Chains A and B, each alone.
Chain A
Amino acid sequence: MTRLPVIAYLGMTHLGLCSAVAAASKGFSTVAFDRDVDLLGRLDAGTLPVVEPGLDDLLRANRSRVSFTADPRALRACDVLYVAPDVPTDDHGQSDCSDLNDLVELAVRTARPDATIVVLSQVAPGYTRARQQPGRPVYYQVETLVFARGVERATQPERFIVGCPDPTSALPLALAAYLGAFDCPILPMRLESAELAKISINCCLIASISVANTLAELCEKIGADWSEIAPALKLDKRIGQAAYLSPGLGIAGGNLERDLATIIRLSESHGTEANVIRAFAGNSAHRRKWALRTLHTTLLADRPDARIGVLGLAYKENTHSVKNSPAVALIRDLRPWPVQAYDPVVRSVAGHDAVRHANTALDAASGVDALAIMTPWPEFRALDAAALARAMRGRLVLDPFRVLDGQAVHAAGLQYRTLGVN
């Protein structure tokens, strides 16, 4: 192929949007397709539906190569069609694949016979094999999007894992040319292997998180400090600097929970032993409620008139997503008490009528008996402990992610509680 292939992404939610902009940034003409005309209008005007650091700038810089469209005929011009809508999950980690199914069918129906169709959305093992039709192979590629690091992950992938109907055959030229532009290893494998590889990656991450959470809780009881232990572990080459060893409030965001549910479901279907996966889920559910337990045991039992401040509503910093957010769960569990909340992006929470949404972090801290910093947004790091102490009525600060300097909080006369140390 002498010309650069034209790339299409179908589904302009988080994954598709980040991936399409990344494709354009590598010099490829990119068709960004979605059926939602209103969404496309906003995208065309440069208003993005997701909060992702660097994405706005990257789109602006490569705007001339991105064509937002709701017209399926535009897909006929494409050499590689990625089907990439976000797949929503319910409270039990079950996927709703209806949008994905529709877009796969559209791609199969619309693409040129010589074009390559790739499912990029996360699917359960067996999904892509079931979409094969005579003369129309469908590939699967692992996505490793990380919320709040979407641009970095889409433009600088560590490797590409490509599930192929026949892994002994060479990749289609257009797909190989496109992936080659990212200058990273390409690992073709069976469809089922690639689908499970995605889940396997997440299981390894969850294992690390679960170890950190389990041992951090123990630290809180025996006088140890997990923040002293984790750096030592990262210097072990078998563990590594990038290991997920920060204690947290359980896993959230939806994708990791989906993988746990998928493995448990598959193990039940095939009779394999998977109790460790159930344990990961149990540990996550337990740690998610750390702030609730701490508030009850240190404050609420004695202060029926308590007022609570919550900083951060998104499930993690630099994202708008509140999927399985510990902050939202906390607020729902605090329904008898008035809550003042502030998040730089999220401005509403369903399920608690008595939430007052403050305009600043300090405003949310004003007059509260306890302040819980539930999302480690960068702007919270600039909070002055003395100013918090002046603003608050009570003394209790819950800072699970160590956003603040614990010593400064103590020095300001506040009672500081965090994960991994008592």
Chain B
Amino acid sequence: MLLTHTDARGSSRPDRVVVVGAGGFVGSAIVRELAAAKIPTLALTRQSVNLLDSDADATLAALLVPGDAVVFVSAVAPAKTAAQLVTNLAMANAAATALAKRPPSHLVYISSDAVYADDATPVTEASPVAPSTLHGMMHAARELLFRTEVRAPFVALRPTLIYGADDPHAGYGPNRFRRQAARGEPVTIFGEGEERRDHVAVEDVARLAVRLLRHRSVGVLNAVTGVSTSFHDIAHIVAAQFTPPAVVQSVPRPGPRPHLLHRFFDITTCYEVFPDFHFERLAAGLARVHREVSATTAAVPARANAT
């Protein structure tokens, strides 16, 4: 098995969890989940430690104490350019240098399913790491960097496409669809939106991260639901949440139709290692996000307009 639990019962309670990248979309969700689990947490944002500063490793090391578990989720994402790749590696290098000096009790790295080859399907934790994008290569390199440089039990959590109410990105998918509909614009899909992808709620990623901490797990786990849904269907789910329903409109693809249209995951490993964990179903998750965003919009209209 590619993931093993040091604590099979999951009763471990880290003295403290240091979340590096706590200000981000995923990092803040993990901090909230740790708070819900009443696990002491040090939430480090870019304001606390700028990993691109020349003395970042010393600054981070000074904040760590023996017994700390660390979740590293800081990234300039997505890494689309060579410069962004180098920036992300520099950030990880600074953190790894600090963690080499002050080895944590456990290191959880929030990676990405982009580390797998494009033509891997169904993807499992055993699928070869063969990234085809700089973003995937960045995560693969950072996994290796932490695994080799830091003397600590290491686990990589590899989420697929993440959605949530606080998603700051506007990438193709539920968040962009919701923003388009909220602005009264048509929800646009490329071609017929046939591509089927797995989408995971950020809250589920955070719940998995905390479970990995409590089991002091080592290895690799994909944060994926095992259900792939077409962008066409997602667009219609999101569009139907608005009154009146938004129009879903097909637009030409920005590039050629991909050879492998769909990506599926086999989540048997998750069933094996966390048998009582179940992912929020996409339709339910999108409905919840809509309620959360609607509530925020009603309370603070200016913020909604800003998006």
A residues whose Cβ falls under 8 Å from a Cβ of B: 282, 286, 289, 292-293, 296-297, 300-301, 304, 333-337
Contacts and interface: CB of A to CB of B under 8 A. Distances in A.
B275 A286 contact: no
A289 B268 CA distance: 7
B278 A300 contact: yes
Interface in B248-288: 266, 268, 271-272, 275-276, 278
B266 A296 contact: no
Given A286-B266, A292-B268, A333 B275 contact: yes
A304 B275 contact: no
Contacts of A296: 271, 278
Interface residues of B, number: 9
Contacts of B275: 300, 333-337
A296 to B, nearest CB: 5
Contacts of A333: 271-272, 275
16 contacts: A282-B126, A286-B266, A286-B268, A289-B268, A289-B272, A292-B272, A293-B268, A293-B271, A300-B275, A300-B278, A304-B276, A333-B275, A335-B275, A336-B275, A336-B276, A337-B275
A365 B4 CA distance: 33
- Counting from the closest, the 9 A-B pairs by CB-CB distance are A301-B278, A336-B276, A289-B268, A336-B275, A296-B271, A333-B272, A292-B271, A333-B275, A293-B268
Contacts of A300: 275, 278
Contacts of B272: 289, 292, 333
A126 to B, nearest CB: 30
B276 to A, nearest CB: 4
A336 B272 CA distance: 11
Contacts of B271: 289, 292-293, 296, 333
Given A292-B268, A333-B272, A336-B275, 5 more contacts: A292-B271, A293-B271, A296-B278, A297-B226, A300-B275
A385 B182 CA distance: 53
A66 B272 CA distance: 48
A297 B271 CA distance: 10
Contacts of A301: 278
Contacts of B226: 297
A74 to B, nearest CB: 47
A24 B271 CA distance: 50
A337 B275 CA distance: 9
B222 to A, nearest CB: 15
A303 B252 CA distance: 43
Contacts of B268: 286, 289, 292-293
Contacts of A286: 266, 268
A170 B271 CA distance: 58
A293 B265 CA distance: 12
Nearest to A288: B268
A300 B279 CA distance: 11
B123 to A, nearest CB: 12
B242 to A, nearest CB: 28
Contacts of A293: 268, 271
Contacts of B126: 282
A289 B275 CA distance: 13
Contacts of A304: 276
Contacts of A297: 226
B85 to A, nearest CB: 31
Nearest to B122: A286
A286 B268 CA distance: 8
Contacts of A289: 268, 271-272
